[in-house]
Amino acid sequence: MKQIFVIGASGQIGSELTMELRHRYGGNNVVAGYINGAEPKGVLRDSGPMELADITDPVALARVVQKYKIDTIYNLAALLSVVAESKPRLAWHIGIDGLWNVLEVARENGCAVFTPSSIGSFGPETPAQLTPQDTIQRPQTMYGITKVSGELLSDYYFRKYGVDTRAVRFPGIISYTTPPGGGTTDYAVEIYYSAVRGEDFTCPIAAGTKMDMMYMPDALHAAISLMEADPTRLIHRNAFNIASMSFDPEEIYGTIKALKPDFKMSYQVETLKQSIADSWPDFLDDSSARQEWDWEPHYDLQRMSKDMLEKLAEKL
């Protein structure tokens, strides 16, 4: 049985990934790592062990790994793209110094490591359509810089020390359990909350701006399947393009409006978010993930929208 440590277990992805891993591997085998001020609550707190484990504290990480005899680490600690622009030093400290701590503890204790990269690892010179797996990565945001550096550092630890590092490049993740905080793609979550609350939505991203997005169940499935994949089939490691849907604000609005005809959206474009979105690809080519570990998404925009509106209506 696997012994898993999720760093950043209270965040948007971490909270749901921890629950999914507990469901698959047993509650006691998945440790929820959190930072001060973000203690797990409710079912996340009650369904398995939790430990205070700040990624910037190597001693705390080693203590958890040794206490629970951890063999797999999911490292979800990061500042998202917009907030990282206002705190670039902290974004680097968490994204790179923190990753270094994780990779060292993994090297010393024989752990596999999953550290997500992002569509933010690409930049304005990257081919925007059907973005290849191996292509130009010259991001202009601090978030993107930490993501590319993280991909390279993770590959380095695999080649030099044999640490089993694997990752995907996540698109914007849409979910109804824990809201995202400080990303460029957050509008695609917030729009559903407005629709369910019966409020008009003001979109910070301009019409026509396409970005890759993914519903949370597909994102969880991607992370877990990649970590379970046969290593002899992996040509790439850090990190795989994955894709399921790409849309602009008009398309998501149209899909929600078809289900909630009174819903209204207007635009008030935010310069920073728009400039970040403009520097990211429109849609990725995920054929390497499909070939090397049988990646396949299950949700498109219609199916996701129906589910999001139903689940949020229950929640709110």
| Binding residues vs ligand AKB (CB under 6 A) | 80-81, 118-120, 143, 170-172, 180, 183-185
Nearest distance from residue 97's CB to ligand AKB, in Å?
19
Contact 150, 115 (CB under 8 A): yes
Helix (H) or strand (E) segment spanning residue 156: helix 142-161
Nearest distance from residue 3's CB to ligand AKB, in Å?
28
CB-nearest residue to ligand AKB: 183
Closest CA to 9 of 121, 41, 168, 99: 41
* Residue 52 or 130 having the CB closest to ligand AKB: 130
- Residues 189, 187: Cα–Cα separation, whole Å: 5
* Residue 48 or 297 having the CB closest to ligand AKB: 297
Angle between helices 98-109 and 142-161 (to 10 degrees): 20
Q: Which of 25, 68, 74, 143 is catalytic?
A: 143
Residue 37 Cα distances to 8, 25, 313, angstroms: 12, 27, 28
Q: Read off φ and ψ for residue 124, nearest 5 degrees.
A: -65, -25
Amino acid at site 128: A
Nearest distance from residue 81's CB to ligand AKB, in Å?
3
* Residue 48 or 172 having the CB closest to ligand AKB: 172
Nearest distance from residue 155's CB to ligand AKB, in Å?
19
Nearest distance from residue 75's CB to ligand AKB, in Å?
14
* Residue 102 or 277 having the CB closest to ligand AKB: 277
Nearest distance from residue 72's CB to ligand AKB, in Å?
22
Told to judge if 176 belongs to the known catalytic residues of this protein, a careful annotator would answer no
Closest CA to 203 of 251, 141, 244, 171: 251
* Residue 81 or 165 having the CB closest to ligand AKB: 81
DSSP character string of 192-213: HHHHHHT--EEESS-TT--EEE
Strand order in the sheet with 240-241: 117-118, 168-170, 240-241
* Residue 175 or 305 having the CB closest to ligand AKB: 175
- Residues 18, 47: Cα–Cα separation, whole Å: 10
Token pair listed for 9? 């277990």
- Residues 314, 17: Cα–Cα separation, whole Å: 21
Catalytic residue positions, numbered: 143
